[in-house]
């Protein structure tokens, strides 16, 4: 009799264990469907439909809680054809309709002139334009600066080329947005990107930029306001959203990117994340809570005396870099700065202040573009 009871208890325990296992295999939100992924942010095992819902709702909450837009805004979406900007176009289109934001959306692409990379990715952007029926503007470095990134790399080599590209791209986005008569720009910078930037600025001791890099809106002091709806969105979830939605995006990395300093910060962040999965958001929140002394804040913004662009010096960094490229000094000065571990802009300001009158054709072209509507 005792053996029979033991057998029954064992059977009941096994059945309960089986039931528990079955329950554990269900989505932790709806408790109905099978999970398809584990969220890196929360550790939850969730199904595809619940993932769509929480992913979209969290971005909507970020937009609303930070007052990123108001009805009637003309918003230029920075579109590269990559996963981040493609998902951004999808999300902005979807949320604009779902929650009636009342926004006029545009796609804005910058052609840096990288053969075998940007020309292919722009084809993806064109297909996205057809899919979402959003007006598209493509603006090239060649058109703005009379240089392509291929030309610049031939001139200066692979070291430091990302400095040129980053400066030119930021200004090109602003100028392109002006041409579209947009009053705001959105970019696909995600939580991983921002955490990497925080680490980079810490390692470089760049306190003013450390303060600015975690702001969800930048440029409000003069240039067009730029916002990051994906500020708290993990890159892994953006990739999974694009995969599950079968979005059309370009996945090849820039051929010049492997030499970028950001790559070291990215590798370091991955190592930290393996030990502490919440490290990405933790880094962002830590930087948000930093208190900065007055002397460490970004300098007052002014207009570049050559092209009129917003900057913190008499001459903006784009005009500074262009001047050095056109005079053949870029490679020499970049080499000196790399050895000293300084940003190229710091070493060139004095030379530029003494040569403000030496405008070249490219600077004039940049100036004329700045007033184009």
Q: Cite the annotated binding site by residue number.
A: 78-80, 84, 110, 188, 193
Report how far Cα 212 is from the mean position of its chain's Cα atoms.
Answer: 14
Question: Crossing angle, helix 235-244 and helix 83-98, to 10 degrees?
Answer: 70
How far, CA to CA in Å, does 137 sit from each of 56, 107, 123, 166? 26, 6, 13, 19
Are 160 and 334 in contact by the 8 Å Cβ rule? The answer is: yes
Binding-site annotation: residue ranges for ATP: 78-80, 84, 110, 188, 193
């Amino acid at each position: 009799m005792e053996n029979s009871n033991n057998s029954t208890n064992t059977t009941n325990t096994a059945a309960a264990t089986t039931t528990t296992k079955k329950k554990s295999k269900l989505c932790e939100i709806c408790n109905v469907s099978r999970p398809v992924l584990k969220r890196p942010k929360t550790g939850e095992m969730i199904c595809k439909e619940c993932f769509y819902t929480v992913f979209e709702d969290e971005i909507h909450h970020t937009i609303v809680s930070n007052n990123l837009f108001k009805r009637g805004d003309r918003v230029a979406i920075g579109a590269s054809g990559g996963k981040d900007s493609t998902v951004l176009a999808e999300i902005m289109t979807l949320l604009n309709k779902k929650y009636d934001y009342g926004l006029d959306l545009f796609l804005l692409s910058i052609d840096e002139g990288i053969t075998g990379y940007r020309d292919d990715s722009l084809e993806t952007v064109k297909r996205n334009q057809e899919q979402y029926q959003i007006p598209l503007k493509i603006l090239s470095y060649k058109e703005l600066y009379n240089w392509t990134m291929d030309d610049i790399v031939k001139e200066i080599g692979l070291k430091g080329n990302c400095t040129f590209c980053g400066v030119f791209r930021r200004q090109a986005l602003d100028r392109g947005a002006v041409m579209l008569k947009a009053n705001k720009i959105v970019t696909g910078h995600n939580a991983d990107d921002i955490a990497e930037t925080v680490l980079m600025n810490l390692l470089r001791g760049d306190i003013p930029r450390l303060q600015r890099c975690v702001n969800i809106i930048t440029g409000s002091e003069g240039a067009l306001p730029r916002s990051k709806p994906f500020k708290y969105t993990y890159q892994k979830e953006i990739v999974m959203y694009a995969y599950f939605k079968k979005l059309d995006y370009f996945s090849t990395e820039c051929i010049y990117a492997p030499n970028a300093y950001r790559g070291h910060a990215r590798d370091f962040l991955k190592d930290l994340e393996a030990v502490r999965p919440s490290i990405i958001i933790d880094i962002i929140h830590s930087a948000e809570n930093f208190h900065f002394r007055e002397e460490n804040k970004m300098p007052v913004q002014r207009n570049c005396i050559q092209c009129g662009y917003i900057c913190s010096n008499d001459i903006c960094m784009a005009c500074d870099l262009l001047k050095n490229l056109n005079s053949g000094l870029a490679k020499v000065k970049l080499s000196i700065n790399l050895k000293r571990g300084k940003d190229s802009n710091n070493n060139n300001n004095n030379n530029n202040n003494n040569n403000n009158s030496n405008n070249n054709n490219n600077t004039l072209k940049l100036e004329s573009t700045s007033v184009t509507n």
